[in-house]
Amino acid sequence: MKNNRFGILIITILVFLAIGLAIFSPMLFKKEVPKELPGVQQTKGAFLVAKGIVESEEEIVIGSLVTARVKKIMVDEGDTIKKGEPLVILDKSKVMAKISMAEAMLEEAKAHLRALENGYRAEDIEMAKSRFRRSEAIHLNAQDEYERQKRLFDKNAATFIELRDAEEKMKIASQELNESKANLQKFQQGVRAEELEESRATVHKAAAELEYNKALLGDCIVLSPIDGLVAERFKDIDETVDVGTPILKLTNPDKLRVRAELDETDVGKVTNGQNVEVYADAYKDKVYHGKVYKVFSVVRRKAQKTFDPLAAFDINTQGIFIKLDDFTGLKDGMTVNVRFLK
């Protein structure tokens, strides 16, 4: 009897608990929606907000214009630099070797051009005539010998090998005769206009190659193209760099902007000239005011990283550039929250 009463009591308590949970659970587990969500349009009267990052308008990655070894790096990350200041010195030994080779090729091309412009010498012509006469005599002898061997072969007085050797000698003599004849005609006719033009083009090409390598010599000293600071360093001393290999990244901290990323679901809700408020976690009580000055016409994969574990990474965003009235306290690379005012 006592056990029955206890069981009924337990069941009654469970029923009341179930009723209570059914009534109050929506209030207990209801998720509070923040007043402002980054990149989401709120109810009437709310603002559109997005994440942003402070960056320099003037950011340059310095790359090598030659293939060489890094001999000296004269700056480090965080250093302030001036326009025209030497930043990196590259080993110039390979470039100097190319210059020497180019100089030799230019002198050779010039000498050949001078010979053509002066024309063929009388002794060169006589040598060509002598070569032709000698080749002609050798050819006649070779031809006579071939005909003699052929007659003997027809009478079975000579072997096939002897006939074939005589024929080969005659062919070689004939080829030499044709070459010497063409060479003599070349000397007798003089230098053709096409030969002169070709030689002049060779000289011009060799001169251009020399100037190019001299320019490369100047590129062995990398100068700063801007006033600013060194944001990042990619190479160390004694490393070899190819053409285009990044060495340093430079930024101008005096020319800042905010790059915001707007979720693609909100594309079209921000326009040029729209007023914004920017907040930085480092200055919780400070509000920065500014305006949108560029809205990207394309939508791309989200680039900014966030420490929010619930934030979506697989999302497309629209880039927006913002200019603030005052950047005091903000540094290149700082993350901020942007609120777009109506």
Residue 238 · residue 70 · CB < 8 Å: yes
Q: Which long-range contacts (CB under 8 A, 24 or more apart) does 315-318 make?
A: 315/263, 315/264, 316/263, 316/264, 317/39, 317/261, 317/262, 317/263, 317/264, 318/261, 318/262, 318/263, 318/264, 318/266, 318/267, 318/270
Residue 41 · residue 269 · CB < 8 Å: yes
pLDDT of res. 45: 46
> What are the tokens at 207?
């001169």
As a whole number of angstroms, the distance between CA 293 and CA 272 comes to 5
Look at residues 273, 303, 308 and name the one whose alpha carbon lies nearest to residue 290.
Answer: 273
Please enumerate in sequence order all residues whose Cβ is within 8 A of that of 71, keeping only pairs 6 or more positions apart, or say none: 89, 90, 91, 237
pLDDT of res. 88: 95
pLDDT of res. 306: 55
Look at residues 305, 317, 312 and name the one whose alpha carbon lies nearest to residue 261.
Answer: 317
Query: pTM here?
Result: 0.54
pLDDT of res. 198: 87
The helix/strand/coil state of 72 is: strand
Residue 49 · residue 340 · CB < 8 Å: yes
Please enumerate in sequence order all residues whose Cβ is within 8 A of that of 274, keeping only pairs 6 or more positions apart, or say none: 291, 292, 340, 341
- pLDDT tens across 181-225, in order? 888 777 766 666 777 788 899 999 999 999 999 988 989 999 999
pLDDT of res. 112: 84
CB-neighbour burial class of residue 149 (10 A; exposed 0-12, middle 13-18, buried 19+): buried
Residue 228 · residue 134 · CB < 8 Å: no
As a whole number of angstroms, the distance between CA 325 and CA 323 comes to 7
pLDDT of res. 61: 93
Strand ranges for the chain from DSSP E: 48-56, 59-63, 68-73, 80-81, 86-90, 221-223, 228-233, 240-241, 246-251, 256-263, 275-280, 283-301, 316-324, 335-340
Domains and CATH numbers, the chain: 34-57+255-340 (2.40.30.170), 59-91+220-251 (2.40.50.100), 97-216 (no CATH)
The helix/strand/coil state of 156 is: coil
- Fill in the amino acid letter for 164: R
The helix/strand/coil state of 275 is: strand
pLDDT of res. 76: 92
**Which region, left, alpha or beta, applies to residue 241 given φ > 0 means left and ψ of -120 to 50 means alpha?**
beta
pLDDT < 70: residue spans in the chain: 1-10, 12, 15-16, 18-46, 119-122, 188-192, 303-314
The helix/strand/coil state of 170 is: helix
